[in-house]
Amino acid sequence: EADIYQTPRYLVIGTGKKITLECSQTMGHDKMYWYQQDPGMELHLIHYSYGVNSTEKGDLSSESTVSRIRTEHFPLTLESARPSHTSQYLCASKTDGGGSYNEQFFGPGTRLTVL
C-alpha cells in the first residue's frame, strides 16, 4: 500500500464554491502530480511539481491551481467550481533517485461532483 493520501474521497458541491483537494505523501518523494480522469478515459496530467516551490501545468488545460510549500503536501484548488469540473482527481508521486524510470505511486483519488 502506497503512503499517499487524498482527502476528501468524495465531494459534492454547488457551482461557484471554492474547493481544495488535499494530497499528502510520507515517502519523501520530490516529484508529485495531479491527474484528471473521467470514466472509461485515460488519465490526463493537469499539474506537476519537481519539488518545493516548483509547480508546472500539465498537458490538459485546467482552471485549477496548485502549490508546493512542503515536500509532502501538494494541494489542488478550484477558485470557483463548475459542473465541467466534475471528474475523478488522482494525485501521484515518485522518487527522483536512481534515474527517471521509477514508478508513480497513486493516491485513492477524489471523486468531485459539481452541481
- Options 11-19, 44-52, 63-71, 78-86: segment touching other proteins (CB under 8 A): 44-52
b or e along 73-88 (b: 16 or more beta carbons within 10 Å of the residue's beta carbon)?
Answer: ebbbebeebeeebebe
79: Cα separation from own chain's centroid: 15
State residue 4 phi and psi, 5-degree precision: -135, 130
Shortest CB 73 distance to other proteins, Å: 17
The set of cell numbers assigned to 39 is 470514466
Nearer CB in complex with other proteins: 91/112 = 91
Does position 112 bind other proteins by CB under 8 A? no
Shortest CB 16 distance to other proteins, Å: 27
Among residues 3, 11, 86, 109, the one that binds other proteins under rule CB under 8 A: 109
Shortest CB 85 distance to other proteins, Å: 18
The set of cell numbers assigned to 43 is 488519465
d(CA 112, CA 79): 14
Among residues 68, 72, 107, 112, the one that binds other proteins under rule CB under 8 A: 107
Taking CB under 8 A as the criterion, which residues in 45-74 touch other proteins?
Answer: 45, 48, 50, 56, 58-59
SS (H, E, C) 11-46: EEECCCCCEEEEEEECCCCCEEEEEEECCCCCCEEE
- Contacts with other proteins, residue ranges (CB under 8 A): 2, 33, 35, 40-43, 45, 48, 50, 56, 58-59, 90-92, 100-101, 103-109, 111
